[in-house]
């Protein structure tokens, strides 16, 4: 990866070690980090303090198209995903967001590995990031209801 955002790649190594799942940097300073499942850490930051995404460098354990939409809506400049779906990579590149990954996969699988992640699936045919975020929120609410 050569000289591609060395400060981001350095932080991304913490994701590999399992201490965090999501890191957001502005310049060379970490402004947010979290250890959570799915898009929850990104959604929490988007809903709570989305300005931290503006021009940010973001590293996350898994970047699917849903995560890519959140990052684009927030204004991230560069994204590293330890695992990234092809749809996420195409979405980010299509919006001028520089991205790299440890491993590119066809789709993000659900937690049991029996099919596509429901959050990834809900935005497959959505292009607008704001519409995508609403769809993601609706899907999360439906999944929570089903889990009760």
Residue-wise DSSP of 92-134: HHHTT-EEEEEEEESS-B-TTSSSB-HHHHHTTT---HHHHHH
Question: Helices 129-147 and 40-49: crossing angle, nearest 10°?
Answer: 120
Residue-wise DSSP of 24-52: EEETTEEEEEE--STTHHHHHHHHHHGGG
Which residues, at least 6 apart from 62, have a Cβ–Cβ distance to it below 8 Å?
21, 38, 81, 82, 83, 84, 108
Residue with tokens 């060379």: 28
| CA separation for the pair 125, 132 (Å, rounded) | 9
Q: What is the pTM of this model?
A: 0.94
| CA separation for the pair 36, 71 (Å, rounded) | 16
Domains in the chain, CATH or no CATH each: 6-147 (3.40.140.30)
Question: Over its length of 148 residues, how does the chain's per-residue pLDDT go in tens digits?
Answer: 458 899 888 888 899 888 899 999 998 899 999 999 899 999 999 999 999 999 999 999 999 999 999 999 999 999 999 999 999 999 999 999 999 999 999 999 998 999 999 999 999 999 999 999 999 999 999 999 998 8
| CA separation for the pair 132, 142 (Å, rounded) | 15
């Amino acid at each position: 990866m050569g000289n591609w955002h060395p400060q981001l790649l350095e932080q991304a190594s913490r994701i590999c070690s399992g201490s965090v799942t999501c890191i957001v940097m502005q310049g060379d300073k970490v402004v947010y980090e979290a250890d959570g499942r799915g898009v929850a850490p990104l959604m929490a930051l988007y809903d709570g303090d989305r300005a931290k995404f503006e021009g940010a460098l973001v590293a996350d354990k898994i970047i699917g198209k849903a995560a890519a939409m959140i990052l684009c809506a927030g204004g991230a400049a560069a994204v590293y995903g330890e695992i990234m779906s092809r749809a996420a990579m195409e979405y980010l590149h299509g919006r001028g967001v520089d991205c790299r990954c440890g491993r590119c996969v066809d789709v993000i699988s659900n937690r049991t590995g029996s099919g596509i992640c429901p959050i990834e699936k809900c935005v497959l045919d959505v292009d607008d990031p704001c519409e995508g975020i609403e769809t993601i929120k609706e899907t999360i609410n439906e999944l929570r209801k089903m889990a009760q």
